[in-house]
Amino acid sequence: MTDDFGDALVTRVSDDQPELFFDRFVFNLHPTDAVVPSLVFGYGIHPRRDVVDGFVISSLATEQRNLRFSSELTATGGAGAGPFRFEVVEPMLEWALSLADNPTDVAFGLTWRARTPAWTGRVGVTTGGVETAAFDHLFQSGRYDGWLRVDGVERDVTGWWGQRDRSRGVRTMAGGQGLHLWVQAQLPDVSIGFLLVEGRDHSRLLLEGAVMHEDGVLDPITDVRHRLVFDDGLDLRGGALHVTTARGATYLLDCDASARGGYLAGGGYGGHHGRSLGVDHVEHDAYPLDGSVSPRTLDSALVDRLTVFGCRGERGSGIFEFAHSRSSSYAYLPSLG
């Protein structure tokens, strides 16, 4: 497998680099047979702003614990910040990731190894005639070795699933979109991954992705239809997805998203990434998972929910990222009968 994307993060400023340029990765970690714990963690570099920042979101049985950290790129060398460190051991195949002790009482020492080829593409979204996103994008499924410690209790995470996501370019959270779905459904032999964006008029703005097979086959996704259920807080509870590929394969996914957590506001997705906060800035908080916190109440409607998927008699799980517009001009409309 070649590193066409370039797994090393961009740390230097170039003459043609926009002010808002970023290079960010996000990983998630979850067991194959349960919906807790679910971890989503990421790290980004903003070269022109001399900023590195990141987050760890830990969704547990009754609460979501949020850790956010930031520093100056010139003070860190770009290999981590706060209690978080990473290493690209072998591009496209293996990463080492660690989180030292911190106020959330969640720590880990992990090795992520690829189990499928990566999907890569160029994402461009135009809203109201204005390009709100233009970035290179990669996602890939893998498995972990290592340990996770929560509240002093350590467990072996060998064999746990995890997807990684890379974005490099310019992206804003500008309005105008109605529905955003980024799905990474992990099944025993394949990972079904796609990004679907619809406008408030229900028109399709973007569809990119592929079914990534463990045997190395990469089958591009050509169509996705959905029938989803959102509650009054705009939180996803479940539904169904129908996926069609270039090879003519179809996958009907039943989705149980009733577990809470994964609210990306806790990771700074409400417009806080790239802000200069000085050297070694660390902050934390927690959300109760009793229904009092929802996409409607937070400063970002984006959620990475660990979801149980059923397909062709098999059970899987993975991250279902969603954002339902909070605008009164939008009402969800299913595209799957």
CA distance 290 to 297: 13
The pLDDT, as a whole number, for residue 128 is 55
- What is the residue-level pLDDT of the chain in tens, covering all 337 positions? 557 788 999 999 998 899 999 999 999 999 999 999 999 999 999 999 999 999 999 999 999 999 999 999 999 989 999 999 999 999 999 999 999 999 999 999 999 999 999 999 877 655 555 555 577 999 999 999 999 999 999 999 999 999 999 999 987 655 679 999 999 999 999 999 999 999 999 999 999 999 999 999 999 999 999 999 999 999 999 999 999 999 999 999 999 999 999 999 999 999 999 999 999 999 999 999 999 999 999 999 999 999 999 999 999 999 999 999 999 999 999 999 9
| Pairing, β 130-150 against β 218-230 | unpaired
Check: CB of residue 95 under 8 Å from CB of residue 87.
yes
Q: What was the pLDDT predicted at 121?
A: 86
The two three-digit tokens of residue 330, written as one number: 């939008």
Distance CA 211, CA 209 (A): 7
Rounded to the nearest 5°, which phi and psi values hold at 73?
-60, -45
Q: Per the structure block, which two tokens stand in for 314? A: 């098999």
Q: Are strands 177-186 and 161-171 parallel, antiparallel or unpaired?
A: unpaired
Residue 175 has a pLDDT of 61
The SS3 assignment for 75 reads helix
pTM to 2 decimals? 0.95
Confidence (pLDDT) at 5: 84
Would you list the domain boundaries of the chain?
A: 22-324
Using a 10 angstrom Cβ sphere, with 0-12 exposed, 13-18 middle and 19 or more buried, the burial of residue 85 is middle
